[in-house]
């Protein structure tokens, strides 16, 4: 990405909020998304 600032969305419903947020930035902004999933039960541990 060529932008110095990157906004990363994590939650499924973040797109409307991120769109409004990015429009307010006075400089070019990159946008990216993450898909997260919980640990598998057999692995153990907590998130």
Q: What is the pLDDT of residues 1-47, one digit of tens each?
A: 556 889 999 887 888 999 999 999 999 999 998 888 776 666 666 65
Which residues, including other chains, have CB under 8 Å from residue 21's CB and lie 6 or more apart? 7
Is the distance from CB of 30 to CB of 3 less than 8 angstroms? Answer: yes
For residue 21, what are the domain limits? 1-47
Q: Provide the pLDDT for residue 11.
A: 80
pTM listed for this prediction: 0.59
The pLDDT of residue 16 is 92
Pair type for strands 29-33 and 5-9: parallel
The confidence score (pLDDT) of residue 19 equals: 92
Count structural domains, the chain.
1
Q: What is the DSSP letter of 43?
A: T
According to the model, what pLDDT value does residue 47 have? 56
């Amino acid at each position: 990405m060529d932008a110095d600032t990157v906004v990363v969305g994590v939650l499924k419903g973040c797109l409307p909020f991120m769109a409004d947020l990015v429009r307010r930035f006075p400089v070019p902004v990159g946008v990216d998304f993450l898909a997260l999933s919980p640990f598998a039960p057999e692995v153990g541990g907590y998130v």
